[in-house]
Amino acid sequence: MEHNPQVQDLLNSLENVLVQEFRTLQSLIGATKQERVLLNKKDPDAIMTIVEEKEGLLDQFGLLEEKRRMFITSIANELSIKLTEVSIDELYSGLDSEESDRLHRLNDGISMLVQQSRDLNYGNQALARTALEWLISAQSFLLSITNPSEGYSPPGVKRSLESNTIGDLGMKA
């Protein structure tokens, strides 16, 4: 199907945005895998750096998503396609099979990478949560062995439960 030059330019732009989304997701997955390594090494400074990198990639992906929606809407308008939602799937009927197949493969690849990224993030979240729970347990244990038992107080000293300065590490459990 031959399209007017404006539609063809919009299709090329949409395809470029999809490729950029694909590459951004690949970078995000790489950063997430690196985050997993750092979580296992328990290196908080490096984890913060990689988290900031991931935030930047997510911001970039969000901007690309906006561009994608804009191109889909513009193409639909040019092809007189009524969109029920701004989805690339609704454009396929107005495109020739080669164009729709190419866009469909890119879109499927993006969906697959999004799912892979989500799964990796769930795993990293579980690792981080486990490490945090361990730290909370360790803190509670350390506080329990450094504070005198509640039943003990030296003769002649009245003990206050609210202001216990013996063994107080300045942390709350």
**pLDDT tens digits, the chain, 173 residues: what are they?**
566 889 999 999 999 999 999 999 999 999 999 999 999 898 889 999 999 999 999 999 999 999 999 999 999 999 888 888 888 888 888 888 899 999 999 999 999 999 999 999 999 999 888 877 887 888 888 877 877 666 666 666 665 555 544 455 555 54
Say how far apart CA 20 and CA 27 lie, in whole Å: 10
Q: Is residue 153 part of a domain?
A: no
Instruction: Please report whether residue 165 resides in a domain.
Output: no
In a domain, 76, yes or no: yes
What 8-state DSSP symbol labels residue 91?
G
How much is the pLDDT for 148?
61
The answer to whether the CB of 35 falls within 8 A of the CB of 99 is: no
Nearest by Cα to 108 from 9, 29, 20, 18? 18
For residue 28, the model assigns a pLDDT of: 97
Per the structure, the count of domains in the chain is 1
The answer to whether position 133 is within a domain reads: no
Q: How many residues does the chain have?
A: 173
**Would residue 130 count as lying in a domain?**
no
Range of the domain at 107: 5-124
- Cα→Cα distances 31→58, 63, 70, 77, 139, Å: 11, 19, 28, 38, 30
Q: For residue 25, what is the domain's CATH number?
A: 1.20.58
- Is 50 contained in some domain? yes
Predicted pLDDT at 53: 97
Q: In this structure, is residue 155 part of a structural domain?
A: no
